[in-house]
Amino acid sequence: MASHNGHQRAGPLLLLTIVTLLGTAADAVVFQTIMMNVTVLRPDLNMTAAAACECKAKCFVLPKCSAASYDITTSVCSMTYDAPCNVTTTFAPGVISLFKFVIREAFITKDITVNGSPDNLKKMCGAEGGVPLIINTKQLLREARQLVAVSQSSPPDV
């Protein structure tokens, strides 16, 4: 730092550091989905946080963090490093969850197949802009059953 009349001035290195940090923040992944009363299962990291905002910031600075849940009652911030397709959640009152990816609504494909291989299912769902639903929580099972029940009570598209 250079000094002039007893005051310090920022040198080129400090300015370069600030510009680099601003550029990095602008390119960073932002949280795309926020859910209330839902928590991530099997977190990779638990730590305390004073508020949901602090939990969000902690996940934000960890590139491998894909989602974080903040429990308002316990002040625990739970983070997962799972890929978006592997992140599972469950109902949890008083928890705010933040995801670095979009959570899409479930839908039932219009196609019918006898080939239930994972590759074929990915191709079928992908043709309609989706991915296969992997039911690995009781919450997803309830939602899937409800979706099937609604689709069976609705008249088919012609």
* Domain residue ranges in the chain: 28-99, 118-152
Tokens of 63: 């590139």
Determine the pLDDT at residue 27. 44
Q: What is the pLDDT along the chain (158 residues), one digit of tens a residue?
A: 444 555 555 444 444 444 344 444 444 558 888 889 889 989 999 999 999 999 999 999 999 999 999 999 999 999 999 988 788 888 899 999 999 887 766 667 777 778 778 788 778 777 776 666 767 677 777 777 887 777 777 655 54
CB of 111 closer than 8 Å to CB of 157 = no
Does this model's pTM top 0.85? My answer is no
Residue 113: what pLDDT? Answer: 79
pLDDT for position 20: 40
Backbone angles phi, psi at 33, to 5 degrees: -140, 135
CATH of domain 28-99: 3.50.4.10
